[in-house]
Amino acid sequence: MKNNTLFRIPRSERNNRKDLASTPQVSLLSSRSTVFSNDSFMVEYLRDGKSTITEDPEMYVLSMVVQGGALIDGNDLWLDIKSGSLLCSVGGLRLKEWTDDFSCFVIHFKKDFLEELLAFAPPIEHTIDSKFGQTFVFLVAENAKKQIIRLFADIYEEYYSGNFLRSSMLKVLLVELVLKVVRATQIAPTQMEHIKSRKELLVQDFQQRVDKHFLTIRRVNQYASMLFVSAKHLSESVKEVLGVTALQIIHDRISKEAEYWLSNTTLSVKEIAYKLNFDNSSHFSRFFKRFAGVNPGQFQRHVNAVELC
């Protein structure tokens, strides 16, 4: 996708774009932004994650992902965004991870930027307070996606244009965008994405790693090291999110694998114990009985008897 053509990126910002993209934590905000002296409004077009979203706690943030995806660190929340995601929040956001093709528009504004318009249209102020007071991510429907991206692009172009009445035009366009966001989110509220907490994402990562390594890694502290957290923190997070212990998750995965081999193969208990990496069949039998209530041989015979019936 040729973003600089599709979104009419100003010529001044196209220069040396490759150099900017290869430099860590460089903002793609053009130096021409100093021409616009109002510190209550700013718009950026980010590529490859080489910038923060915003760290100013007083700034409202409205962002639209054009392509790719990223993980945003939002204090107590991790926000997973992708192409078509619309992000609304209040400051304190940083890009954590991103795909190579990631790009997005980001508008930062304070409510006083729209002060004149808000005086004549109180519902807009209520809309901003209600919509942006709590962080949310919304996946825009395809039929509205291009229209909203185009409006972001128009605001971006106007911001760098230096045209007469630029400030007034930006205010009008911003109000239009806010209203379109409200309309889109009310038409399809089911597309509102669940925002996962750090603990939920940690537990999700833990479960994925257990599923991948349960045959060889069976200690909670080993998984904690892989996830760069303490065993205590991992255990507490799993208990809070899932209501069971981290060790139960590991053992449950092993027991499910054991049930599969006992139910779907003609392997002996000893062979299955070896396949599941137990020291011996006795150890495997004791482990399995704690979960199934019967030993592996009894379980296997019961399954075979049911199949014969």
List phi, psi (to 5°) of 39. -85, 10
pTM: 0.51
The structural domains of the chain, with segments of one domain joined by +, span: 3-194, 197-308
Q: Where does the pLDDT of residue 27 fall: very low under 50, low under 70, confident under 90, or very high at 90 and above?
A: very low
Helices (H), 162-197: 166-187
Whether 246 shows a pLDDT value over 80: the answer reads yes
CB 234 within 8 A of CB 246: yes
- DSSP-derived secondary structure for 226-245: HTTS-HHHHHHHHHHHHSS-
pLDDT in tens, 206-228: 998 999 999 999 999 999 999 88
Separation of alpha carbons 26 and 21, rounded Å: 8
The fold for domain 3-194 equals: Jelly Rolls (2.60.120)
Query: Does residue 146 register a pLDDT over 80?
Result: yes
Confidence band, pLDDT 50/70/90 cuts, at residue 255: very high
CA–CA distance, 103 with 215 (Å, rounded to integer):
40
More confident of the two residues 187 and 130: 130
Does domain 197-308 sit in CATH 3.60.15.10?
no
Q: Quick check: 74 pLDDT over 60?
A: yes
What are the pLDDT digits (tens) for 6-25? 333 333 333 333 332 333 33
Over 90: is that where the pLDDT of 70 sits? no
Q: What percentage of the chain reaches a pLDDT higher than 90?
A: 27
Question: What is the dihedral angle through the alpha carbons of 148, 149, 151, 154, rounded to the nearest 10 degrees?
Answer: 180
- What is the average pLDDT score of the chain? 75
Least confident of 44-58, 97-111, 282-296: 44-58
